[in-house]
Amino acid sequence: MQPEMNVVMLGHVDHGKTSITKALSGVWTDTHSEELKRGITIKMGYADVNIYKCSSCEGAEAYSTSEICPKCGFESKLLRKFSLLDAPGHETLMTTAISASSITDGAILVIAANEPCPQPQTAEHLNVLEILDVDNIIVIQNKVDIIGMDRAKESYKQIKEFLKGTKAENAPIIPMVANQGLNVDVLLKTIYEKIPVPERKKTNNLRMYIARSFDVNKPGADLTKLNGAVIGGSIIEGHISEEQEIEISPGIIVDKKKGEFEPVITKVKGIRAGSEKLTEAGAGGLLALSTLLDPALAKSDGLVGQIVGTPGTLPSPVKKLKMKYKLISRESDGNLTLILNEPIVISVGTAITVGVITNMKKDLIEVTLKRPIVVEKKSKVAISKRAGNRWKLGGYGIIE
């Protein structure tokens, strides 16, 4: 069964996002060597989650991730399968979090109860959800086991005050102890009831954002037995099947000096949703596609940010963008401003690139990009700019 939707996990660093992902899916998504060493999420992690419901039990206790109800031992019915995206919380990795949010149908915002709310990335991630118009939000008040009742109530009041006036103002707030799996059943029930599977646009034109890419061959592998590049991402519209031809754009670089790219056409040799093999797939959760492309192209996420589509239907890659922009209003640390000729980071879909503001007029800016991207008109773009020694989310733009 293909996952029906994507749900992104956001929140400040070390507030428990990866632990909650493991409690839901059984998968520890921090597998990159640097992630294990530093104890933080660097690349976007993901895992598939199954929601089962027992016909014998009542309330939240009926919900679990197991075919056999852990409460009564009866067989449970599979209600939904979805992909859970674990986005980095560290401030220097905000662009990856924006990428994760751009392919999501709902969000879980994790807030640790043992720290004052909001922490810097808690506020930043909520801003991302506001910018990208993510309406279906669930809030988790994590680590309630290491504080007293008075502090838990104070934390709850801080969270409610923080959410006031935002898309998450009326979001359910679930207290949890992620490491012990406490209230996982409540979270599953809430996800099922509060984050519905969206209606998908019916079209024959494929659109898929690439969120990860891999070379799955081991060092020293026989050249005659090499596997092609593997790309992972989410289909936004259309469908895909084995042996289908696809176009990947902007594609591969053909002139380093000029920064010119050329779209490539390849064939799908296999489709996977987690460990499950599929012959075809549509819009919904995360998928992995085996292709005939040179595996070196996909190494270390080399194809992230590109778009997969039906050959001949994708917009042409562009190196210049014209957009109407709006800056985020900040009360705590002052508002950011955009300046002519300054570099900014543009995040659209799963593409992240640096550009320079070459023209400004009222609320319109023109940006020349370092590398081309494929973008549809009216797409919403997240804008980050340098503030001190780091990149900070400054606002958003809408492509003209």
| pLDDT tens, residue by residue, 166-186 | 999 999 999 999 888 889 999
Distances (CA, A) of 149 to 74, 114, 156, 292: 35, 11, 11, 57
CA distance 220 to 222: 7
- Do 59 and 130 fall within a single domain? yes
Residue 169 CA from chain centroid, whole number: 22
The two three-digit tokens of residue 398, written as one number: 């809408």
Residues 154, 46, single domain; the answer is yes
Confidence (pLDDT) at 90:
45
Query: Which of 277, 309, 341 is the last residue before a domain boundary?
Result: 309
The pair phi, psi for residue 282, each rounded to 5°, is -125, -165
Q: What's the pLDDT band for 74 if we cut at 50, 70, 90?
A: very high
CA dist 228 to 119, 224, 280, 294, 380, Å? 43, 11, 19, 6, 33
Q: Does residue 386 sit in the same domain as residue 261?
A: no
Shared domain for 174 and 257, answered yes or no, is: no
Q: Which domain holds residue 31?
A: 6-194
Residue 38 confidence (pLDDT)? 33
Task: Answer yes or no: is 115 within a domain.
Answer: yes
Average pLDDT, the chain: 85
- Considering the domain boundaries, does residue 201 fall inside one? no
Whether residues 227 and 275 share a domain: the answer is: yes
Q: How many residues are present in the chain?
A: 400
Number of domains in the chain: 3
Q: What is the pLDDT of residue 100?
A: 55
Residue pair 394/338 in contact (Cβ under 8 Å)? The answer is yes
Rounded-to-10 torsion of CA 125, 94, 81, 379: 90
- State in Å, rounded, how far the first CA of the chain is from the last one: 39
* Same domain (yes/no): 338, 254: no
- Regarding whether 173 and 81 lie in a shared domain, the answer is yes
Residues 153 and 255 placed together within one structural domain of the fold? no
Looking at 254, 277, 309, which one is the last position of a domain? 309
Distance CA 96, CA 131 (A): 15
pLDDT of 87 strictly over 80: no
Q: Does 305 fall in a domain? A: yes
Q: What is the pTM (predicted TM-score) of this model?
A: 0.82
The CATH number of whichever domain residue 72 belongs to comes to: 3.40.50.300
- The H-assigned helical ranges of the chain are 17-25, 33-38, 94-102, 120-131, 149-163, 184-194
What's the CATH code of the domain at 274? 2.40.30.10
